[in-house]
Amino acid sequence: MGVVVPFDEARSESESLDPLLHLVNEDMEAINRIILDKAVSDVDLIPQLAHHLIASGGKRLRPMLALASAKMCGYPGNGHIRTASAIEFMHTATLLHDDVVDESDARRGRKTARLIWGNQASVLVGDFLLGQAFRMLVDVGNMQVLKILSNAAAVIAEGEVMQLAAAKNTSTTEDAYLAIINAKTAALFLAAAEVGAALANRPADEQAAMRSYGRNLGLAFQLVDDALDYSGDTRKLGKSVGDDFREGKITLPLILSFRRGSETERAFWNRTIVEGDIKDDDLDHAIALMKKHKALEATMERARAYGAIARDALAIFPASAYKSAMEDVIAFSVNRGH
C-alpha cells in the first residue's frame, strides 16, 4: 500500500514551482513590500495579527498566478502588482475567518491567530484586510478587475456557508462537494488567473481560457489538500494529519469511503463524523478504510483530471516562459507533499 499519493511526473515538487518563482521574483518583492505597508495601522493589533499570518511562509500561489497571467498576456503596466497584493489580502482574510469558523488551532506549523489574539480580533482584522484589498483595487482603477474580485469575494463566502451547511453530513454527494470547493477555493484561483488577462485587455476567448485554467487548477489544488490531510507528513503540512477527520469535515476521501463502504463502515463514519465520538485509534482505522477503498488514489485521480483540463485550457496561448511556468504550477499542485 506504501505510497498513497503517487508522483506522476519526473520533476520534484520544489522544481516544479521554481520556474514561476524565478520569473516573478522581482514583482513578488514589490508585493511583499505592499503587503507589509498596507497591513499597517495605528491600531497595533492589526499589524501584529496580520503579520503573524502574512509572514508565516505561505506559498503566495494566488498572487504569483495573477502576476504570471498578466505577464503571459503581455500586460505592460504595473497594476498587476497591487491587484496581486489585494488577492493575497483577500486570501489572508478568508484564512482568518476560516480558522474562527473551524476552530482551528494550527496553520502553517504555527498557532492560529485566533488562538493567540482571540476569535474577535481574527474576525475584525479579516474584515480590515478585505477592506484594504478593495482599497488597493480601487487604486488600480480597472472596473473589470473590480468586478472579477468583488464577485470572487461573494462566491468564496457563499462556498464557506455551503460547507458549513454540509458539515457532518456524511451522505454529501461528490457533486455537492465539487460545488463547495468550486466556490470556496477555485473561485479565487479563477479570479487570480483571469485578472491578468483582464488587465491586459485580451479577447474574450483568452479570458475564458484563463478562467478555466484557474478554476481547474484550484479544484486540483483543493483535492490534493484533502488527500494530504489523510496521507501527508505532519511536519511538512504545518498542521496535523487527520485534522479534517477530527473536525468532522466532509472532503472527497471521506465521501468516497462512505459511498464505497459497507453498512458497518458507514456506521463507523457516522459515529466519528456525525456524532463526533472519536477514539484513539479511529484515525488509523479511517485511513485504513480509505486505503481499502482506494479513496485517496481516487481523489488524486480526480485532481490529475482537473489538472489536465487546466493544462488544455492554456493550450491556445503561444509558447512562452510564463506559459511553461504556469503548466509547471499544475504539476506542483498535484505532486506536492504539503
Q: Give the footprint of a second copy on this chain (CB under 8 A).
A: 41, 43-46, 97, 100-101, 119-121, 123-125, 127-128, 130-132, 134-135, 137-138, 141, 143, 146-147, 150-158, 160-162, 164-165
122 vs 257, beta carbon nearer a second copy:
122
CB of 79 to a second copy, least distance (A): 13
Q: Which cell goes with 183? A: 466556490
124 vs 208, beta carbon nearer a second copy:
124
CB of 102 to a second copy, least distance (A): 8
137 vs 254, beta carbon nearer a second copy:
137
Find the farthest-apart pair of alpha carbons in the chain and give their distance in angstroms, rounded.
Answer: 61
Measured between alpha carbons, how far is residue 57 from residues 109, 110, 270 in Å?
10, 10, 36
46 vs 68, beta carbon nearer a second copy:
46
CB of 290 to a second copy, least distance (A): 27
25 vs 120, beta carbon nearer a second copy:
120
CB of 143 to a second copy, least distance (A): 6
CB of 221 to a second copy, least distance (A): 21
78 vs 150, beta carbon nearer a second copy:
150
* Gyration radius (Cα) of the chain, Å: 20
273 vs 290, beta carbon nearer a second copy:
273
Q: Phi/psi zone of residue 7: left (φ > 0), alpha (ψ -120 to 50 degrees), beta?
A: beta
CB of 121 to a second copy, least distance (A): 6
Kindly report the number of other CB atoms within 10 A of residue 239's CB atom: 20
- In the block, which residue shows the cell 506559459? 323
- In the block, which residue shows the cell 491586459? 200
CB of 94 to a second copy, least distance (A): 8
The string of DSSP codes covering 29-89 is: HHHHHHHHHHT--SSTHHHHHHHHHHTS----HHHHHHHHHHHHTT--SSHHHHHHHHHHH
The string of DSSP codes covering 75-121 is: --SSHHHHHHHHHHHHHHHHHHHHHHHHT--EETTEE-HHHHHHHHH
